[in-house]
Every structure is written in C-alpha cells, then in structure tokens.
Amino acid sequence: LDVTAEARARLEVTTAAATIALRGPTADPATYDVRLTVGEDASLRWLPQPLISTRGSTVHQTYRVELAGGSRLLLREEQLLGRTAEPPGHLSTRLTVRRDGRPILDQHTVYGAPTPAWDGPAVLGGHRATGQLLLVDPGLDVPPAAVLLGGPVEGHCVLAPLADGPALLATAVAPTPAQLRRLLDTALAQVSGAET
C-alpha cells in the first residue's frame, strides 16, 4: 500500500475488519508492505484493525514512513498472536520512520517459532496481543521520561519520548485485543494536544 497525504491535507485511514494471516500453499512468506508519506502541514491518522497471525502462517510486514518537518502522524499497529487456543505463525514486523530525511525510529520485532524467546518474560510475558502507537506532532508536549501504564492483569504499556523529534511511542502487550486497545487509548489520552 502507498498512501500520501499531500501538503495541508487531513487524512484518516482505517479498515473494516482485522487482517488474518493464514498458512499458504508453500512455505514462502507473505509480505505486507505499507509506505506512508505525509507532506508539510499535513496530518495522517493510520488506524487499521489488528493483524492476526494464525498457526502455520509466515508474514513479513513493513511500514516505511516519510514525514515532512511540519507534518503530523498518528499510527497504530496491533497484532494478535494466534487465534483462541492456537499458537501463532511466524510474524516479522519492521517500522521505519524518517522526519525531514532523518531517521527517528527503526524498530524490528519477530514473533513465533523458530524465533527464540519471543514469548518469554522479556518480550511478551505470556500475553497474546501486542502493538504500538506512534504520535509525531511539531506541537507535541513531550514528557521528559517514559511512563509505565497498566498492570499484571490488563497488560503493560510504556509511553516513551523518541530521541530525535517531537514524537512519542507507546508499546504495549496484553492478554486480549480489547485490553491492548484500552492500553493504547490510555497512552494517547496521557498526551496533551493529541488531536493529530
């Protein structure tokens, strides 16, 4: 997918339902590539429904985001690792964001076998839903330190400023997609002036 919000445009993109990754007829991975471009004084809200990684599927998902210096972005991505009582497939995701030609985020995560320790306490801690919310806005009031939200029952979310740019990243894990969405919504509500 290629999506461009030209200068001074306001664009919101969502989906009607979740994307389900199923096992294909071969072991070759499926790819899901998204390229987002946001022009000067433009705003893009990218809010799709979750990607569900089912048993036996192999998906490589990439997001490449190019932002002008005065643009605004609200990007949410969520993954559900396996359906009810099912292990997930193999899911690889990479998110790269550049603002004014400079990188502000390059994040790569991999879930499912054969990746070691993907579901261990340092990564998912037994949770099945994971996701993040990225907010970039020149007028953003960025807190000086990371904030931890949630708890052992509903899952955890870390809201952290990015080093280079008026940007915040919320990364969350939770037992269910509904609890994940609540954590990401709570993180967004923590940010003053979050109307991208």
Please name the residue that has the structure tokens 């953003």: 140
**Average pLDDT value for residue range 133-160:** 91
Gap between the Cα atoms of 58 and 74, Å rounded: 27
pTM here is 0.92
Q: What percent of the chain has pLDDT over 70?
A: 97
**Average pLDDT value for residue range 49-62:** 95
**Average pLDDT value for residue range 164-172:** 90
Q: For 93-119, what is each residue's pLDDT tens digit? A: 999 999 999 999 999 999 998 888 888
DSSP code string of 83-114: STT----EEEEEEEEEETTEEEEEEEEEESTT
Domain spans of the chain? 2-137
Q: What percent of the chain has pLDDT over 90?
A: 79
The string over 116-153, giving b where at least 16 C-beta atoms fall within 10 Å of a residue's C-beta and e elsewhere, is eebbeeebbeebbbbbbbbbbbeebeeeeeeeebbeee
Q: Which of 19-33, 35-49, 103-117, 153-167 has the highest mean pLDDT?
A: 35-49
Q: Contact 96/109 with Cβ under 8 angstroms?
A: no
- The partner residues of 136 in beta bridges, in order of sequence, read 73, 167
Q: How confident is the model at residue 21 (pLDDT cuts 50, 70, 90)?
A: very high
Q: Is 25 exposed, middle or buried (0-12, 13-18, 19+ CB in 10 A)?
A: exposed
H and E: helices and strands count for the chain: 1, 14
Gap between the Cα atoms of 163 and 178, Å rounded: 30
Q: Looking at the predicted structure, is the pLDDT value of residue 30 above 60?
A: yes
Q: Looking at the predicted structure, is the pLDDT value of residue 196 above 50?
A: no
Gap between the Cα atoms of 124 and 139, Å rounded: 33
